[in-house]
Amino acid sequence: MRFIHTADWHLGKLFGQRYMTEDQAFVLDALVEAVRTYAADAVVIAGDVYDRSVPPAEAVALFGSVLGKIRAAGAEVLFISGNHDSGRRLDFGAEVLAMAGVHVRARLTDDLSPVIIGSAEGPVAFSLIPYLDPIEVRDVFGIRETLSFDEAAALVVEKARAALPGGMPSVAVAHAFLAGGVRTESVRALSVGGSDQISPAHFKDFSYAALGHLHGPQRAGAETIRYAGSPLCYSFDEVRQEKGFELVSIDAAGAVSHAFHALAPRHAVRVVEGMLDDLRAGSDPLPRDDYVLVRLLDTVRPLSAREKLAERYDNIFGIEFPNFKAQAIRSEARTANEGVSDMEKFADFYREATGEAMTEEQRAFFTECVDAMDREARAEKDAREAPEGRASE
């Protein structure tokens, strides 16, 4: 069997005050062409189909269009929810879609039976594991004690593995932050407590694990446990990452080979550095319509910098002045806080206020409460901001 592993489409993404719908349509058309070129049997989308729980109407229309194109190209589709998605909305029409060769599991239930996809080399079992919230896992399986992300994943993945039929290769599809992975600023933290990392060992008994959540393509503990990454850059710290998909082949014995294939974007995302006068002189040979973050190296902050740079760059998403003293001080303050979780910040505050360290029980209770409030706040925010009109530029 040959299938395409992709993830983190984030349809409806707003980047630099610009909806990325047209850019996403462009790159997904290239992915559909890859389905034809490589005669893929299936396309696996490992979560974060949308960027918000209530996506713009044009994002929903784009997803529907791409699903139709993939099916017309001859591949079945399998997808799960990510932490940005609304499981209830994404799960709509699952039974009808399955009859059309589109398989979705966006809400966790106690039924973790795999989807079996046939191919010339024989069938492959796909365990579709939607985004796992520890509180939801407790509710579904009637567990009273608090679970960490790792404990919740261990329980669900083991139940999925136990439901696999014997005698055929298997693929786990999941959306999670596996320990050792590299996160970028556009990747939303899963837990305020910083305890969101999951051991890759839970997936070792599958022939291949198709993961989503981290935007850079990378292995996670083993060569066959992989993130495909996002198909586009969604923040400027992703500019050095390759963007594309994994093409995976599995034979009847479960032997796996894979190769990463890059996708060319409609507009490149890049960081430009230099003195204002040099940049205006046009020494940059790359296209003027790229999406750029400009770092001006002038020691004195120039007047009307954006207007002057607009003579050379059509799409300026931001301007930084690393050599300007006030900004350098703010940058140092941001750097000092990098890598410090909200849990640790609150624990420091608690220690200052009470003179005592938080217990593990207090940490777990704080994390669970804040995570629940954060989910509710995100859902309310997405509902308020749900666009009614045109959602692309």
* pLDDT the model gives residue 184: 66
Q: DSSP letter at 357?
A: P
Element (H, E) at 337: helix 325-337
Nearest one of 258, 210, 261, 263 to 232, comparing CA atoms: 263
- Give dist(CA 200, CA 235) in Å, integer: 26
- Give dist(CA 256, CA 1) in Å, integer: 10
Burial class (CB in 10 A: 0-12, 13-18, 19+), 359: exposed
* pLDDT the model gives residue 38: 97
* pLDDT the model gives residue 272: 93
* pLDDT the model gives residue 140: 96
Phi-psi region of 307 (alpha: psi -120 to 50; beta: other; left: phi over 0): alpha
Residues of the chain with pLDDT under 50: 193, 328, 388-393
Question: pLDDT digit string (tens) for 307-353?
Answer: 999 999 999 999 999 987 655 455 555 555 555 677 777 877 777 66
Token duo for residue 310: 């607009």
Contact 48, 8 (CB under 8 A): yes
* pLDDT the model gives residue 196: 74
3-class secondary-structure state, position 19 = strand
* pLDDT the model gives residue 365: 77
* pLDDT the model gives residue 188: 64
Strand partners, 124: 117
Residue percentage of the chain with pLDDT more than 90: 70
* pLDDT the model gives residue 377: 67
Radius of gyration of the chain (CA): 22
Q: Kindly compute the dihedral angle of the four CA atoms of residues 108, 113, 115, 120, in this order, to the nearest 10 degrees.
A: 150
Look up the CATH number of domain 2-262: 3.60.21.10
- Give dist(CA 234, CA 15) in Å, integer: 7
- Give dist(CA 50, CA 82) in Å, integer: 8
Nearest one of 242, 207, 177 to 44, comparing CA atoms: 207
pTM of the full structure: 0.82
* pLDDT the model gives residue 390: 44
- Give dist(CA 187, CA 167) in Å, integer: 37
Question: pLDDT digit string (tens) for 117-148?
Answer: 999 989 999 999 999 989 999 999 999 999 99
Which residues, other chains included, contact 245 with Cβ-Cβ below 8 Å and sequence gap of 6+?
Answer: 4, 5, 6, 31, 34, 228, 231, 260, 261, 263
* pLDDT the model gives residue 301: 86
* pLDDT the model gives residue 369: 76
What is the pairing mode between strands 208-212 and 170-175? parallel
| Structural domain spans, the chain | 2-262, 269-333
